[in-house]
């Protein structure tokens, strides 16, 4: 039984393999881009002529921005494109499991590892943009130099955990449906598939919130400590 | 008993043990977390939003331990590297 869509290969030329993961990621990207482009072609700010699709997209964007603002109240709009893209990609790829023949690209470790590496890089980029290189790198040796290996270890392990969590959840869900089909056909797999939609959405939410928490920690750690020190100096 | 059957038997036993033992601790941890969160929501219903958000993040963290066990079990059963090595070496 193939456990990831990586092993389904459609086209091969030399060392270039076009497997199901890449193909379905492309389909997903095209779908998201074309739908967004079609909707945002005729944006209208007046209340009378607002299309229902614009309402849907506005609702999604406003909700995501609200969630980001709860975690990092200062500059929600800076992180909205990155976090929102990740959330929509994972959520739509899970929801499309309703379509027969769809392989969620997030059921492959390559996709989730790529997403987790994107988050790991974005944490450093946002931290450096906010504080400057020297000030950002200094937080690795805080409170003492002895903490350096632990900081590095925690960053590696959380990136690994981010990738493995999403991969394990999505992959096990599709595998579970396959196993249940052999044991108790028709009814029970249906229930599990409905449950899988919920799990997919929750995992998308968790992935987005966790990456936002990591970014917020990298951005805020210095400024909070500075304000604490200032507060102590005033006392 | 030849190598192939020993590897098959140990893989299945190891996968089962990994899943059984590995899901005990996350189950207890998640139960404790949910109990605490429900108690806190009952005390302060206004904070239900941020409490449930933190609860979800914590549950995902705890659950990932069980997911690691699941991934290892699935690798042992479906794509066992030792099994592949032995069967390819014996020409099977």
- Here the ipTM equals 0.71
Distance of alpha carbon A211 from alpha carbon A126, whole angstroms: 12
pLDDT over 60 at B30, yes or no:
yes
Chain B CA closest to residue A175: B74
The pLDDT assigned to A219 comes to 83
Taking contacts as CB-CB distances below 8 angstroms, the residues of chain A near B78 are 1, 3
pLDDT of residue B91: 67
Please give the structure tokens belonging to residue A229: 């020190």
Q: How many angstroms separate the CA atoms of A196 and A189, rounded?
A: 10
Asked if B60's CB is within 8 angstroms of A210's CB, the reply is yes
pLDDT over 70 (residue B92):
no
Distance between A231 CA and the closest CA of chain B, angstroms: 27
Selection from A100-114, A191-205, B18-32, B67-81 with the highest mean pLDDT: B18-32
The pLDDT of residue A169 is 86
Say whether B53 sits in a helix, a strand or coil: helix
User: What is the structure's pLDDT at A221?
Assistant: 62
CB A54 within 8 A of CB A39: yes
Amino acid A229: pLDDT: 58
Distance CA B50, CA A108 (A): 32
Number of alpha carbons in the 13 Å side-chain half-sphere of residue A94:
27
Sign of the Cα pseudo-torsion (A191, A197, A203, A206, in order): negative
- Cα distances (Å, whole numbers) of residue A98 to A6, A60, B21: 20, 20, 34
State which residues of chain A have pLDDT below 50: none
Residues of chain A contacting residue B70, judged by C-beta atoms under 8 Å apart: 168, 172
Residue contact B70–A213, C-beta within 8 A? no
Query: Which of B57, B68, B78 faces A206 most closely, judged by CB atoms?
Result: B57
Phi/psi at A115 (nearest 5 deg)? -65, -45
Q: Give whole-number Cα distances, A18 to A21, A108, A174, in Å.
A: 8, 14, 22
* Predicted pLDDT at A41: 84
Identify the residue among A206, A213, A214 best suited for mutation to test binding to B, counting B beta carbons within 10 A and taking the highest.
A206
Q: Provide the token pair at A216.
A: 């917020």
CB contact under 8 A, A210 and B79: no
Euclidean distance between CA atoms A103 and A81, whole angstroms: 26
- Which pLDDT value is given to residue A232? 57
Would the CB atoms of A206 and B60 count as touching at under 8 Å? yes
């Amino acid at each position: 039984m193939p456990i990831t869509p990586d092993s389904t290969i459609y086209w091969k030329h030399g060392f270039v393999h076009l497997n199901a993961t890449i193909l379905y990621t492309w389909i997903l990207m095209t779908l998201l881009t074309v739908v967004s482009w079609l909707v945002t072609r005729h944006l209208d700010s007046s209340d009378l002529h607002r299309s229902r699709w614009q309402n849907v997209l506005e609702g999604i964007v406003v909700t995501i921005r609200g969630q980001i603002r709860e975690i990092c109240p200062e500059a929600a709009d800076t992180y909205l494109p990155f976090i929102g893209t990740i959330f929509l990609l994972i959520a739509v790829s899970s929801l499309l499991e309703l379509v027969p023949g769809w392989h969620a690209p997030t059921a492959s470790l390559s996709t989730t590892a790529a997403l987790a590496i994107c988050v790991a890089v974005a944490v450093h980029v946002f931290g450096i943009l906010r504080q400057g290189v020297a000030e950002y790198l200094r937080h690795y040796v805080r409170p003492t130099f002895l903490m350096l290996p632990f900081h590095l270890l925690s960053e590696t392990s959380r990136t690994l955990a981010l990738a493995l969590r999403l991969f394990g959840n999505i992959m096990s869900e599709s595998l579970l449906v396959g196993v249940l089909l052999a044991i108790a056909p028709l009814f029970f797999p249906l229930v599990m598939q409905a449950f899988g939609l919920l799990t997919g959405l929750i995992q998308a939410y968790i992935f987005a919130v966790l990456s936002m928490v990591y970014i917020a920690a990298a951005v805020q750690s210095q400024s909070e400590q500075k304000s604490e020190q200032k507060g102590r100096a005033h006392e | 008993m030849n190598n192939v059957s020993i590897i098959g038997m140990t893989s299945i036993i190891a996968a089962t043990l990994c899943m059984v033992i590995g899901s005990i601790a996350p189950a207890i941890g998640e139960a404790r977390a949910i109990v605490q969160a429900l108690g806190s929501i009952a005390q302060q219903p206004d904070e239900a939003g941020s409490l449930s958000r933190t609860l979800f993040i914590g549950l995902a963290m705890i659950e990932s331990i069980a997911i690691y066990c699941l991934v290892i079990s699935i690798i042992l059963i479906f794509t066992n590297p030792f099994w592949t090595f032995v069967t390819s070496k014996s020409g099977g």
